[in-house]
Chains A and B, each alone.
Chain A
Amino acid sequence: MPTVEDYVARIEETCGEEKGVIVTFKYDKKDEAITKIRNKAQLKSSLSGIIFEFAFQATSFRVFSSGKAIFKGINKEALHDILAALLL
């Protein structure tokens, strides 16, 4: 049974008062994770094939082709639920 941890290498809060969370996907799973996200979330915009801005369950977030994603204004528990819905 796959888990969020199978895809995610690290989750860290950004510094600054406007809290965000950076998700780093595992290198060998990043392409699969991005494909799953593209299939489930609504693509709002993209730039140069590098940044993809998505909307999912009233949450906007940006995914980078390097295998990182930034979620803003969200706590880690809610983030885990969203990642589970997107990746599993």
Chain B
Amino acid sequence: MEHHSNIVPWELISKINGFTIKYAKVNDDGTLDYEDFESKFSSKTKLASLSHVSNVSGVINNVKRIAKIAHENGALMLVDGAQSVPHMPVDVRDLDVDFLAFSGHKMLGPTGIGALYGKKALLEKMEPFQGGGEMIKEVSYNQKTGRCGIDWNDPPWKFEAGTPNICGSVALMEAIKYLENIGMPEVLKHEKMLTEYAVKTMQSCCTKLVLYGTSASFLKCGIMPFGIIGLSPHDVALFLDNYGIMIRSGFHCAQPLHQVFKLQSSARASFYIYNTREEIDRFIEVLKEIEQL
């Protein structure tokens, strides 16, 4: 169920480092097959990586359960929080994950910036992945060896080589403050309300509409992949565009999950703090119109 960003980098570095990647199965409704995930662990497993929330189906994964199993098997746990951090309270200590990444552009912040949380003890043990200014305590030239000795800075600076994206950092911080001021439980509550309302209304009002994945609201946040029978998702997206309604069409950078759903592509509606029930009503009115095509 992963976004390509949690597939492609692993495939790239496995070609360099030669490690083995195992993929866990996804059920037909888009939920994670936990038993299959657990069966992938062995004494050789170094790291488990999982999205907290699917960017296609909105399914919320029980990462706490997987993190516990990972640790029991001596593995580390990395979570792709790009789709969860903007939409719900996320407590890395409670989840007991070792690393968690998220993006600014999914949470009212700018593009091109994100954050990686890591447990301090692990970050202290890790080598830098980039070199440059600011990430060292001291660089000293040794006349005897003709080389420079380097003393790394403490985390997080050890991993922040060079001049950072200052504007992006300031803007992301403001976005975080804005969301914290609203309260992440309130954000989640609003999205759940909209999702439940949208699912119920779409199922009762639309005749050619197919909702993909689970519609159980307790399992998902405000993302709804769907299709209109007889129309491509791109037709649907462009039609809605004429009414100023923006959805995404395609495979949403998650092609393997579309293979599970046996789809070429899908349309995806998503909700956030600024959306209203009235907008969902309007969205469904337009869907009913396009069903006539």
Residues of A with C-beta under 8 A to B143 = none
Partner of B234, one of A47, A48, A66, A70: A70
Q: Is A39's CB within 8 Å of the partner chain B?
A: no
Partner of A65, one of B234, B242, B249, B290: B242
Residue of A nearest to B289 (CB): A48
Residues of A with C-beta under 8 A to B234 = 14, 20, 22, 70
Q: How far is the CA of A15 from the CA of B251 in the complex (A)?
A: 6
- Interface hits, B96-142 → A, CB 8 Å: none
Known: A14-B265, A62-B238. 15 other contacts (CB 8 A): A14-B232, A14-B234, A15-B250, A15-B265, A16-B233, A16-B258, A47-B239, A47-B290, A47-B292, A50-B242, A51-B239, A65-B242, A66-B238, A70-B234, A72-B232
Q: How far is the CA of A62 from the CA of B241 in the complex (A)?
A: 14
Q: What 9 A-B pairs are tightest by C-beta distance, nearest first?
A: A16-B265, A15-B250, A16-B264, A18-B264, A50-B242, A64-B238, A17-B264, A47-B293, A66-B242
Q: Is the CB of A14 within 8 A of B249?
A: yes
Q: B: which residues have CB within 8 A of A?
A: 232-235, 238-239, 241-242, 249-251, 258, 264-265, 289-290, 292-293
Q: How far is the CA of A47 from the CA of B231 in the complex (A)?
A: 13
Q: A: which residues have CB within 8 A of B?
A: 14-18, 20, 22, 45, 47-48, 50-51, 62, 64-66, 68, 70, 72
Q: A47-B290, A70-B232 are in contact. Are A16 and B250 (CB under 8 A)?
A: yes
Q: How far is the CA of A5 from the CA of B95 in the complex (A)?
A: 54
Residues of A with C-beta under 8 A to B249 = 14
Q: How far is the CA of A16 from the CA of B104 in the complex (A)?
A: 26
Residue of B nearest to A50 (CB): B242
Min C-beta distance of B265 to chain A, whole Å = 3
Min C-beta distance of B227 to chain A, whole Å = 12
Residues of B with C-beta under 8 A to A68 = 238, 241
Residues of A with C-beta under 8 A to B293 = 45, 47, 51
Q: Is the CB of A70 within 8 A of B235?
A: yes
Q: A66-B238, A70-B238 are in contact. Are A18 and B289 (CB under 8 A)?
A: no
Q: Is the CB of B251 within 8 A of A64?
A: no
Q: A14-B250, A47-B290, A51-B293 are in contact. Are A62 and B265 (CB under 8 A)?
A: no
Q: How far is the CA of A22 from the CA of B235 in the complex (A)?
A: 10
Residues of A with C-beta under 8 A to B242 = 50, 64-66
Residue of A nearest to B258 (CB): A16
Q: How far is the CA of A17 from the CA of B5 in the complex (A)?
A: 19
Residue of B nearest to A49 (CB): B242
Q: How far is the CA of A56 from the CA of B287 in the complex (A)?
A: 28
Residue of B nearest to A16 (CB): B265
Q: Is the CB of A62 within 8 A of B235?
A: yes
Residues of A with C-beta under 8 A to B233 = 16
Min C-beta distance of A47 to chain B, whole Å = 5
Q: How far is the CA of A16 from the CA of B267 in the complex (A)?
A: 11
Min C-beta distance of A49 to chain B, whole Å = 9
Min C-beta distance of B266 to chain A, whole Å = 9
Q: Is the CB of A50 within 8 A of B239?
A: yes
Residues of B with C-beta under 8 A to A64 = 238-239, 241-242
Residue pairs across A and B with Cβ atoms less than 8 A apart, 18 shown, are A14-B234, A14-B250, A14-B265, A15-B265, A16-B233, A16-B250, A16-B251, A17-B264, A45-B293, A47-B239, A47-B289, A47-B290, A48-B289, A50-B242, A51-B239, A64-B239, A64-B241, A65-B242
